[in-house]
């Protein structure tokens, strides 16, 4: 997956996240929508992590295509 594809996916996820937050403000979310919001947030973290990995590999003279999506347990426990 190329950087532009990752960024495009991030844009789609951000749009969906905003729609869910707007729904939450105007009447709340049901259990399924809450689960979807959490899933979108995890996917966003994974995409940003993948993009950082790709850029890091490129900067180090490595192949950015060797970067891989990391699991939720990894990306959700980074220190901010």
Q: Are 46 and 75 in contact (CB under 8 A)?
A: yes
pLDDT band with cut points at 50, 70 and 90 for residue 80: low
Q: What per-residue confidence (pLDDT) applies to 5?
A: 96
Q: What per-residue confidence (pLDDT) applies to 76?
A: 79
Strand, helix or coil for residue 58: helix
Per-residue pLDDT tens digits for 24-65: 999 899 999 999 999 999 999 999 999 999 999 999 999 999
Q: What per-residue confidence (pLDDT) applies to 79?
A: 60
Backbone angles phi, psi at 27, to 5 degrees: 135, -5
Looking at 26-70, list the stretches that DSSP marks H as alpha helix, in order from N- to C-terminal side: 31-59
Domain spans, the chain: 3-75
- Predicted TM-score (pTM) above 0.75: yes
Per-residue pLDDT tens digits for 2-31: 999 999 999 999 999 999 999 999 989 999
Q: Are 43 and 19 in contact (CB under 8 A)?
A: no
């Amino acid at each position: 997956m190329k950087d532009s594809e990752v960024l495009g996916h991030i844009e789609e996820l951000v749009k969906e996240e905003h729609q869910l937050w707007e729904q939450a403000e105007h009447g709340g979310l049901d259990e399924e929508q809450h689960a979807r919001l959490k899933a979108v947030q995890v996917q966003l973290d994974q995409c940003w992590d993948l993009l950082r990995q790709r850029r890091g590999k490129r900067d180090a003279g490595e192949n950015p295509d060797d970067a891989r999506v990391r699991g939720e347990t990894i990306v959700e426990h980074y220190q901010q």
